[in-house]
Amino acid sequence: MMVLVPRRFPRAARTVLRAALACHLLGLAGFVSGCGGEGAPILNAVGSYSDVAIVTDLELFNPVAFQLEKALELPLEYSLKPENLLEVDIFDMRNRKKADIYKNVIVLGFLNGKDSASREIQGRLAGEEMKVMGTRGMYIATRTDVYAQNQNVLFLAGNDRNAMSSGVVAEAPALRGQIEGKNRQRVLEHLLAQGRNVEAERQLVSQAGFRLTVPAGYKLNGIKANEDGNMGCAEVVATGPTRSVVVFWRDVDPATIDLEDTATRLQLRRDWGVFLEERLQDLFGYTWTREIFRGEEWPMLAGLYEVDAGGEIFGGPFRTVFVLDGPGRRLYGVNWLAFRPHKPKHVYMREVQAIAETFAPRS
């Protein structure tokens, strides 16, 4: 059912209104307690996970808020048409109640100011000390459920407006990381509230030798190995749209592995792709980064895959984190991907990354 909402409403407001109207039209009771009637509780009663509200005193902090908005709306190149990591709206403190429907809220002000935004920060923290950020010109404190259920709130402050202007840009990666980390945590909570595929989890441990949390909406699509049995993969997948987590592995001597050797890692990712009958799209290119995965830093490969289905080529974005399990003498590639042609993909890439981050070698 398509429910139209006027675009004069902010992004998060449109999300909530569509869902609320859909529930009403379908005759279902209790939007906050769940649009699905009896069963698992709905944990995302406000907004969407990409929504961020910046709340501040616009007479003082309008330039700072604008710079923060642009820094948070990082473009993601999942295909030829980029999409934003986060969608940000800015509100003056006089309209702070509008932020109640946002999954993520940033209150921006001075550490010891007298304006309304600064007083909000000081009052909400009740004298608790804020943590200094890396640039040492910005301070942060985080709280949950300050204004609404299942909400991530960041209080961000500084002493000098000019220093804050440069500080919010410098601290943007840390802020994006905090917000996305909380988003994935809450997405996983929501998925698991609907149940777990315990049989799939058991098979992964007994047949593939690692642990992965599998939500009830996902199925085990197969466990494969090569003839020598020293390399293989296991995939859990959901449809509508198709998205999956694939764990590749190769038995190795840990002393011989150089994780900085990107050419060797890229070739291994190609070899692993044979299990899925996929190939990598070289024309799109690849990006290597160092990412925190399960509390440790590992190399991550980003790119596009493609599959030939009866002469029709289709594909989408993938991410592969390379994890070395020394005691288990295995090199893992923990991979997540989505297939949703010509439509935004990040909401599903966020979901499968949340599942991928539950991976743990048995050792």
Domain boundaries, the chain: 11-192, 197-361
Q: How far apart are CA 289 and CA 300, in angstroms?
A: 5
The three-class DSSP label of residue 177 is helix
CA distance 218 to 245: 10
**Token pair of 273, please?**
């792709």
Q: Rounded to an integer, what distance in angstroms lies between the CA atom of residue 360 and that of residue 284?
A: 31
Any idea what the Cα angle at residue 210 is, between residues 204 and 216, rounded to 5°?
45
CA distances from 234 to 5, 210, 225, 357 (A): 42, 10, 9, 15
Distance, C-alpha 40 to centroid of its chain: 22
Retrieve residue 363's tokens: 């050792």
CA 101 to chain centre: 19
Q: What is the CATH number of domain 197-361?
A: 3.40.1000
Of 122, 44, 53, 140, residue with least CA distance to 89: 53
Q: Are strands 242-251 and 360-361 parallel, antiparallel or unpaired?
A: unpaired
Helix 172-193 crosses helix 161-170 at what angle (to 10 degrees)?
60
The length of the chain is: 363
Structure tokens at 184: 């994935």
Chain centre distance of CA 98: 24
Element (DSSP H or E) covering residue 15: helix 11-25
**Rounded to 5 degrees, what are φ and ψ at 90?**
-115, 135
Exposed / middle / buried, residue 22 (Cβ in 10 Å: 0-12, 13-18, 19+): middle
pLDDT tens-digit profile, the chain (363 residues): 333 334 445 666 555 544 443 333 333 333 333 343 333 334 444 578 999 999 999 999 999 999 999 999 988 877 767 888 999 999 999 999 999 999 999 999 999 999 999 999 999 998 788 999 988 889 999 999 899 888 999 999 999 999 999 999 999 999 999 999 999 999 999 999 999 999 999 999 999 999 999 999 999 999 999 999 999 999 999 999 999 999 999 999 999 999 999 999 999 999 999 999 999 999 889 999 999 999 999 999 999 999 887 777 788 899 999 999 999 999 999 999 998 888 889 999 999 999 999 999 986
Report d(CA 275, CA 352) in Å as an integer: 19
11-192 against 197-361: fold identical: no
Residues 6+ apart with CB under 8 A from 298: 259, 290, 291, 321, 322, 323, 324
CATH architecture of 11-192: 2-Layer Sandwich (3.30)
* Cβ-Cβ contacts under 8 Å for 58 (sequence gap 6 or more): 65, 90, 92
